[in-house]
Amino acid sequence: MTDKHAHANPVRGRFNSWLLAKYEDDFHEEMGERKQQHIGALNGTVVEIGAGNGVNFRYYPPGVQLIVYEPNPWMHERLHQAARKHSLNCELRPVSAEQLDLPGESVDAVVCTLVLCTVEDPGQILREVRRVLKPGGKFFFLEHVAAPRGSGLRRVQDLLMRPWRWLFEGCHTNRETAALLEAAGFERVEMERFSSQKMPPVIVPVISGVAYR
């Protein structure tokens, strides 16, 4: 698989790793209950896409066989530290996830939090998630999304999208991820919407839930 992020900018890469670490406790305070409810109930083989610094590792139960994809090399040291801290059996694949190097119907669950905003082709990621999930498998997602069209916040998101995308390594302020999930062909999608009190003001609309294969 070709890793499109093999030459990630070292300044932005280090900055984003530091930023995630700095605000990890804030995100845990706001979103930890949702993550614990869903991630904490997983078992078997689990894939996490865009694992970053390993901020979700605190929620995985013992015994999970975890395969994580994280192409940003400046995240890897903190990721390995988190795996050791939480005694996880974790295999790191340091590549992007547009083509998961896994057999079809081979994993029990996929986790993806604050990642679909950053990838080049989120539809392709979702197709790969469906492909590798076993029948009945779960896809847990938590993502910031576009504000409603015509709203003042959406106009700000549209205006800031290009510089924001450059600074945060592909992050789109205005991606309509909810619609992508609903059109991705999952058997069922359970989704809630809420406004974050911890995210930067331009990306406060958030969705969270589970899509079932």
C-alpha torsion angle, residues 27, 157, 71, 65 (rounded to 10): 40
Identify the residue with better confidence: 23 or 206: 206
For 41-86, give the DSSP string: T--SEEEEES-TTTTTGGGPPTT-EEEEE---GGGHHHHHHHHHHT
pTM: predicted TM-score of the whole model, two decimal places: 0.93
Lookup result for tokens 């305070």: 29
Average pLDDT over residues 3-9: 52
Q: What local confidence, expressed as pLDDT, does residue 9 receive?
A: 81
Fold of 10-212: Rossmann fold (3.40.50)
Whether the pLDDT of residue 5 is over 80: the answer is: no
Q: Are 58 and 39 in contact (CB under 8 A)?
A: no
The encoded tokens of residue 211 equal 């899509």
- The residues spanned by each domain of the chain are 10-212
Query: Which DSSP helix (H) or strand (E) runs through 92?
Result: strand 89-93
Alpha-helical (H) ranges within the chain are 10-22, 24-39, 76-85, 122-132, 152-167, 177-182
Whether the pLDDT of residue 6 is over 50: the answer is: no
Whether the pLDDT of residue 8 is over 70: the answer is: no
Whether the pLDDT of residue 40 is over 60: the answer is: yes
